[in-house]
Structure 1
Amino acid sequence: MKVMVVGASKGLGRALIEGLGQSGDQLIGVSRYRPDSLVNQAGAELRWVEANLGESLKAAQIIEQAVAGEGLDTLIYNLGIWEELAFDPAYDFLADQDSQLQEIISCNITSTIVLIKRLLPLLLNSANPRIILTGSTSGLSQSGRPEVAFGASKFALRGIADALREGYRQQRLGVTCLNLGYLNTEDALDTPRALAEQRGEGHLIPVHDVVQIVRMTLSLSSTSFVKELTLPAILDERF
């Protein structure tokens, strides 16, 4: 199995690179720079593509060329940016810079669509093609969050997923949108989960749990898929 993780240098993306795959699999990480000291699963091959998704057209071309002719089974699009004061009580939409709003939409929506368009021909050649989009509970109706650009971009991910399912159902393309709550990205995958789950005292989700869900999703047969999954923290009062 060949799996590409976009936004793989830190946090959840890094955890996915380090936690997925088994002997014979190939993992392809994508980020602006390759991080140091990566530890991938035993027997799994790790490759890296350096590309800045803030420059959507250029990045899509670099990534496409890096994997052209080699095939791809799964694309995990984990990249996303947010407002400077997002998730802070001081957040104020009217104080957001226009240029920052444009950057958020470009990175979170435009880059996603352009890259999927470039890689889709490769994916559709797979016997079990999969796309996993890491969304957010901010993309759900009545999410309780005021961040306009970030929320809009996560709503858009669900629309992208719906449209792709309808357009490529006969090619058995499985598209999953993970609506994730607040994550604990400070404790990496090498931190014992029992310790990582203590951070936030029930308000933060260990990356270990998300990796486990993605493993399950990728283990399914070609005749089923996870359409959408919402994963909030246990003490998140919005849910």
Structure 2
Amino acid sequence: MNDAVHEFRVLRENPVQKIKIPKQVDKSSKVAYFTRDQLERFLECVNTPMKNAKYQHSIQYYAFFTLMARTGLRIGETLALTWDDLDFDAKTLTKSKTLVYPLNSQPYLSTPKSKNSERTIKLDEITLKLMKRHRINQKEVCLMYKNYKPTKDNIIFHQHDGRWLRTNVVRDYFKAICKRADLPILSPHALRHSHAVHLLEAGVNIKYVSERLGHASVKVTADTYLHVTKKFEDDALSLYVKYMPS
């Protein structure tokens, strides 16, 4: 622009000269997550029947939110899962696709957010047990109710007519539970953040956490989470004190 003014003389003045570039906002400082106690309260509320509530007790949603909280899956990745992705013998979950739900349009399966997002995740015994329970319940419900159709695509989480759960309904359900449990009103993505923070608080190697979440690099994981909780700093200082001579 300066050349256009002074050298080529095609402009009278530099129109961008007085523009101020805003400082880059550090998104990592706004990580929203549940503490261990908050997560426990949230899942208990999902699993507790309540009269006259907008959303009633549902083992499907209990399994859905528990799976997100104990694997770090994104909401679209969780919605896209089929029973073929889950290997009960190997105790693993293979994540290779994501469900995209455009506004006022039909949902469709898409490739993951990045190459690293394609991954196989090890499942713990609590999660495996719950998923087995959900699968049995899903089959029983299909046999008991004529209007509840089994899905042709073997989808793990689906509506009564066999189609994928709607993203907006899942988000609304999540917020309703947050209000009912007297918790901060977060989004389902907070469960992914919670899983990462809880792994790191437990002392899990950050490289493993990065690979489990499907991050592009360890730096992404570190920049996003290592500053979030005071426990990291306290634990690191305790280790240092133990190592150094008194």
Higher RCO (CA < 8 A, seq sep 6+):
2
Fold agreement, TM-score > 0.5: no
TM-score by length of 1: 0.24
| Structure number having the greater helix percentage | 2
TM-score by length of 2: 0.23
Q: Which has the larger radius of gyration?
A: 2
| Structure number having the greater strand percentage | 1
